[in-house]
Copies of this chain bind each other. A is one copy, B any other.
């Protein structure tokens, strides 16, 4: 049985590994978990003896299958609870993370699976992140380009096609982030620019911007 702390390390390593696709460094973990590298080293040794990851001095770590399974289970719980908080208890999607950080460590497979069922087996959480199923698999979510969305529908921004600095800067300047709920209002026939509602504010984005925004389908 893993402690809460051990689960947090495993989860964080999984997340970093998924993004960087390289062995995970001690420092990167320390930064994310807001702890000291020496503390991380100690924990990595412990997790290695528990056979959840492979660790080589000075070379970083890599989760093995057992480690990945645990990471996915914690992530699954986190995202199911976030969904519960938003869908059933009417929390807004920006205030659920901290609570889900606590709830993700509740140990009961039966609870997790009943919650999943109660929520109707959702495949994405309120931020648009995929929810692994009971076997740790996510169903590849089909995404749709903003330019293809039906007028007046609302969806969650889940993916950027062009992740250039300039584009991401444009998005943050306009308060659009992965996870943002976007409602499409109107497509201007003259220049194919799009009127959207995001954070209760209406803005107009050009066709080249719209082409890079993908939403849940």
Tally of chain A residues near chain B (CB < 8 A): 18
Provide the A81-116 mask, 1 if CB < 8 A to any CB of B, else 0: 000010011110001001100110011101100110
**Consensus secondary structure, chain A interface:** helix
CB-based nearest B residue for A102: B106
CB-based nearest B residue for A95: B110
Task: Work out how many copies of this chain go into the complex.
Answer: 2
CA distance A111 to B106 in the complex (A): 15
Beyond A99-B106, A102-B106, A103-B106, whether A111 also contacts B85 by CB under 8 A is yes
A106 to chain B, nearest CB (A): 5
- Interface check A118, CB cutoff 8 A: yes
Q: Which 6 A-B pairs have the closest CB atoms?
A: A89-B114, A102-B106, A99-B108, A99-B111, A89-B118, A88-B118
